[in-house]
Chain A
Amino acid sequence: MKNVLEYLESSTISFPNKVAFTDENSSITYKNFTKQAKAIGSYLSKLQVKSSPIAVYMDKSIENLEAFIGVVYSGNFYVVIDSQMPTDRINTIFKTLSPIAVITDQKCEEKAKLLEFDGQLFLFEDAMNADVDEAKLKAIRAKSIDTDLLYALFTSGSTGIPKGAVICHKSVITYTEWVKEAFNIDETTVFGNQTPLYFSMSVLDIFSTIRNAATLHIIPKKLFSFPVKLLEYMNERKINTIYWVPSALCIIANWKALDYVPLPFLNKVLFAGEVMPTKQLNYWISHIPKALFANLYGPTEITDICTYYIVNRKFSDDEPLPIGNACNNCDVMVINNDGKEAKLGEEGELCVRGSFLASGYYNNPQKTAESFIQNPINPYYPELIYKTGDLVKYNDLGELLYITRKDFQIKHMGYRIELGEIEIAASSLEKIAACACIYDERQDKIVLIYEGHGLNNQTIIDGIKYKIPNYMHPNKYIHVKQMPHNQNGKIDRVWLKNNYQTIDK
């Protein structure tokens, strides 16, 4: 196996009339989906290029997925561009990317015309109506190899210039095989997709679906505003597996929505992308005790995930969840400051090796060389590892614990402090809906920003004093009505760090 299209074609042969994808307005069977993707691939093959970037600039929909797979049929790789992203930012990305073409639809066409690039602009509506050229597609496939690129996802770099992690077929295949094995994904799996397609988590949803002839329902974003409607939608479509960001799971928990609408079909709840607050997780577990809950961990640069933990014991509200152990066919190492493997219990940076690793950052050799380095434990032959920038250690049970981002570990009054530890203490308090802790180096101040009804600074101070030592107590508390979130739906710590003074009234 060398190409993810083999997944799709095999499922299409076994289950031609089964529904592969749905969105709010429509649904499509495997047979029709494959036909559409082949039409788009044939249309794009007229470009006569291979292994080149083709950007897809459309609203999240079935058609968006057809465009992705169509690009793959053409022998190129797709680049997911959020249709809500400001034009300036897309143009910054395009300077690095130089896409050979952009696919958009009639709805986004006006905006797409404002983008600056030298390639061609194609309309989805034209591409989907092209004739399928089987001979051409076959010739393209014959030349493909498993280290050819499949897609690029741009993530915001700390410098503010987005970096495009590029992932090849082999990485996604290795990853998708692990997902199947770890969570028993098969043709009875019904996914409820929450994460945006420009976020690496959606890779699990999309490729596990086509690998296993499962069905994927794209849940309309606006339903997350209306918890009861959201849960009813999930039940109507008999969704049994979700892989969401913790912020989305917290919406349900904070509304206590499962008290009103149970989810009898749901049996797998996976989450990743940020730390899952244990209090809200316990709410979910108490309402769906028979479901499997798993904490997945990993960055875009290793396809999606490198370690996972299936919740198999009780956790108190102030106890962090482990990130567990490495996925099968993926290896993780904890490297200390001396570049050696950390001893049991010693902190170090989590590094990953294996086929999940991205091929690098597109057209950015400098950033690639900083994060993808020669395995320091292996001086004998070329072998790259990816440095995650996250600090971890093993607990007594041999499970990895996430400590904090390397950049979030601070020195304050001579003490080394993990901001994440302060967040865990605060978020376990009753009534706290969400919180984030940042460190202002210039003023040497720890700032806790929190959201929750009926709370004030004194309640927090009284609550955390039994949980964390004095020297870790924040110097400043800011109560906000609403935490800021970035485009991936995570709490926006970068924004908070630069702007906390403006929200402190």
Chain B
Amino acid sequence: MEKLLVIMQEIKPGVDFKKENNLIENCILDSLDIVTLVTEICDEYDIEITPLDVVPENFQSAETIYKLITRLQNED
């Protein structure tokens, strides 16, 4: 989880990703941020995220993103 927070902080400095739980509706992450974030996560965690998993539910907060990562790691 800490690793993920570091990645997110690098993409959007100045946001408290531990607390923020509405990243999309609050317009914190835009389409290009999501692309960058997914690329970084795939790299860091050695997983593949397909467009099918790039849905709002999985990107509401650091916590939901982390859940997605954990799920994909277990599927591997």
Chain A residues close to B by CB (< 8 Å): 221-222, 224-229, 251, 254-257, 260, 433, 453, 481-483, 485
A454 nearest CB neighbor, chain B only: B43
Task: Give A257 to B54 CA distance when docked, in angstroms.
Answer: 10
CB pair B33–A260 under 8 Å, yes or no, is: no
- Residues of the A chain whose Cβ atoms lie less than 8 Å from the Cβ of B11: 481-482
Instruction: Please encode chain B, from 38 to 58, with 1 for each CB lying within 8 Å of some chain A CB and 0 for all others.
Output: 011011000000111011100
B42 nearest CB neighbor, chain A only: A453
CB pair A225–B43 under 8 Å, yes or no, is: no
Given A222-B24, A222-B27, A225-B30: A482 and B35 within 8 A (CB)?
yes
Chain B residues close to A by CB (< 8 Å): 10-11, 24-25, 27, 29-36, 39-40, 42-43, 50-52, 54-56, 59
In the complex, what's the smallest C-beta–C-beta distance from A439 to chain B, in angstroms? Answer: 24
CB pair A229–B56 under 8 Å, yes or no, is: yes
Task: Give A94 to B44 CA distance when docked, in angstroms.
Answer: 48
Task: Give A228 to B49 CA distance when docked, in angstroms.
Answer: 13
Given A251-B31, A481-B11: A228 and B39 within 8 A (CB)?
no
Contact of A251 among B35, B39, B40 (CB under 8 A): B35
Given A251-B31, A485-B32: A226 and B39 within 8 A (CB)?
no
- Residues of the B chain whose Cβ atoms lie less than 8 Å from the Cβ of A433: 35
- Residues of the B chain whose Cβ atoms lie less than 8 Å from the Cβ of A483: 32
B43 nearest CB neighbor, chain A only: A453
In the complex, what's the smallest C-beta–C-beta distance from B44 to chain A, in angstroms? Answer: 12
Is the contact region of chain A dominated by helix, strand, or loop, or is it mixed?
A: helix
CB pair A227–B36 under 8 Å, yes or no, is: no
In the complex, what's the smallest C-beta–C-beta distance from A223 to chain B, in angstroms? Answer: 9
- Residues of the A chain whose Cβ atoms lie less than 8 Å from the Cβ of B29: 225
Task: Give A221 to B36 CA distance when docked, in angstroms.
Answer: 17
CB pair B36–A226 under 8 Å, yes or no, is: no
- Residues of the A chain whose Cβ atoms lie less than 8 Å from the Cβ of B42: 453
In the complex, what's the smallest C-beta–C-beta distance from B46 to chain A, in angstroms? Answer: 13
* 24 contacting pairs across A/B (C-beta < 8 A): A224-B30, A224-B31, A225-B29, A225-B31, A225-B33, A225-B54, A225-B59, A226-B34, A226-B55, A226-B56, A226-B59, A227-B54, A228-B52, A228-B55, A229-B55, A229-B56, A254-B35, A255-B51, A256-B51, A260-B50, A260-B52, A453-B39, A481-B39, A481-B40
CB pair A228–B31 under 8 Å, yes or no, is: no
- Residues of the B chain whose Cβ atoms lie less than 8 Å from the Cβ of A225: 24, 29-31, 33-34, 54, 56, 59
Known: A226-B59, A433-B35, A481-B39. 18 other contacts (CB 8 A): A221-B30, A225-B59, A226-B54, A227-B54, A228-B51, A251-B31, A256-B51, A257-B51, A260-B50, A260-B51, A260-B52, A453-B39, A453-B42, A481-B11, A481-B36, A481-B40, A482-B11, A483-B32
- Residues of the B chain whose Cβ atoms lie less than 8 Å from the Cβ of A228: 51-52, 54-55
Contact of B51 among A221, A227, A453 (CB under 8 A): A227
- Residues of the B chain whose Cβ atoms lie less than 8 Å from the Cβ of A453: 39, 42-43
Task: Give A227 to B34 CA distance when docked, in angstroms.
Answer: 11
A222 nearest CB neighbor, chain B only: B24
- Residues of the A chain whose Cβ atoms lie less than 8 Å from the Cβ of B35: 251, 254-255, 433, 482
